[in-house]
């Protein structure tokens, strides 16, 4: 069933999670052209850096005509600063603005009063951010991505944040079924995602451990979520979106890509990285392997 976020309609309800150092423009071009991805996010963007028009930050927001619909995810700990950055995102033509309440890495959660998943412990402050950002936006919807909790794995923290976000005007929520303490270890708790789904009326995107079509089907069956957000399962596998879509429609999985198809896509991805990042950065960039271990890097798929 389609999911509507203000004027944006997502026909298949399958979206790509924002992931720092992963979901750059070349990644998104490949995901859309090869895998049929309908909706994606940029890499996580610092609200403070965007306000100062930092060059590296603006490069994270690079896009092209075919890279639509597209959302931008902001991270920050000061509601006034994040709200001040929100209109810039809207003016740049993005279709959705998402707020990061999920990133677990210390450089995000430990700075100042704490951003990312640290806001799960500060519901009053988080609500102030939601309200100020929602008021600052004129056209595009506000969404929030969170974890099920900071240390508490019951989902209670996420339920409270979800209710506050809905009351403040958020159009949808994405819930990663892990706590901040887990980072990327263990298994995603789909029942906890379901507790968030039961607490609000706005659409919920379930996230965590979706690496196959069957995983996505189980996520929806257990949690009752409206849509599926794919994270690390897409790394090295841009064919996953079509597999998930087929599974959710009850159709047979599409044929697996051949070796030659994988080789061609890999080389095309490298060509795009060279085109958009330059020779040196494209060749030395640390691309995660498919299904990386938690210890392999601290990229932040909230």
| Beta strand residue intervals within the chain, DSSP E | 3-5, 8-10, 14-16, 39-41, 45-46, 70-75, 96-101, 142-149, 172-179, 204-207, 227-230
- Report angle CA 86, 56, 284 to the nearest 5 degrees: 135
Contacts of 248 (CB under 8 A, 6+ apart): 12, 13, 14, 213, 216, 217, 220, 228
The rounded distance, in Å, linking the Cα atoms of 41 and 48 is: 19
Catalytic residue among 72, 103, 121, 300: 103
For residue 265, the Cα-to-chain-centroid distance in whole angstroms is 23
Tell me, rounded to whole angstroms, the distance of Cα 8 from its chain centroid: 17
Q: Angle at which helices 156-168 and 123-136 pack, to 10 degrees?
A: 30
φ and ψ at residue 187, rounded to 5 degrees: -115, 150
> Tokens in use for 61?
């927001």
Residue 103 appears among annotated catalytic residues: yes
Structure-token pair, residue 208: 């965590």
Look up residue 178 and give its two tokens.
């892990």
- Going by C-alpha positions, the residue among 103, 239, 129 that lies closest to residue 183 is 103
Contact 253, 243 (CB under 8 A): yes
Determine the Cα–Cα distance for residues 32 and 38; give it in Å rounded to an integer.
Answer: 7
Positions marked active-site: 103
């Amino acid at each position: 069933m389609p999911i509507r976020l203000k004027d944006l309609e997502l026909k298949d309800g399958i979206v790509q999670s924002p992931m720092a150092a992963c979901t750059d423009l070349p990644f998104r071009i490949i995901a859309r052209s090869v895998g049929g991805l309908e909706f994606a996010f940029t890499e996580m963007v610092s609200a403070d850096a965007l306000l100062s028009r930092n060059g590296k930050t603006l490069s994270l927001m690079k896009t092209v005509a075919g890279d639509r619909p597209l959302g931008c995810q902001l991270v920050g700990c000061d509601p006034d600063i994040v709200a001040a950055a929100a209109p810039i995102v809207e003016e740049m033509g993005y279709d959705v603005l998402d707020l990061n309440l999920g990133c677990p890495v210390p450089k995000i959660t430990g700075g100042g009063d704490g951003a990312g998943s640290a806001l799960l412990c500060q519901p009053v402050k988080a609500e102030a951010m939601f309200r100020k950002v929602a008021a600052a936006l004129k056209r595009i919807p506000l969404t929030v991505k969170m974890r099920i909790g900071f240390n508490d794995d019951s989902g209670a923290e996420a339920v409270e944040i979800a209710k506050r976000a809905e009351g403040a005007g958020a159009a949808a929520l994405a819930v990663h079924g892990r706590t901040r303490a887990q980072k990327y270890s263990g298994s995603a708790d789909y029942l906890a995602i379901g507790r968030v789904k039961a607490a609000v009326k706005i659409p919920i995107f379930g996230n965590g451990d979706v690496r196959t079509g069957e995983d996505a089907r189980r996520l929806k069956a257990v949690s009752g979520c409206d849509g599926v957000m794919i994270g690390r399962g897409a790394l090295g596998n841009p064919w996953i979106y079509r597999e998930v879509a087929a599974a959710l429609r009850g159709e047979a999985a599409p044929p697996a890509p051949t070796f030659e198809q994988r080789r061609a896509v890999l080389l095309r991805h490298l060509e795009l990285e060279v085109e958009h990042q330059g020779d040196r950065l494209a060749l030395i960039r640390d691309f995660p392997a498919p299904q990386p271990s938690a210890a392999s890097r601290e990229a932040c798929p909230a």
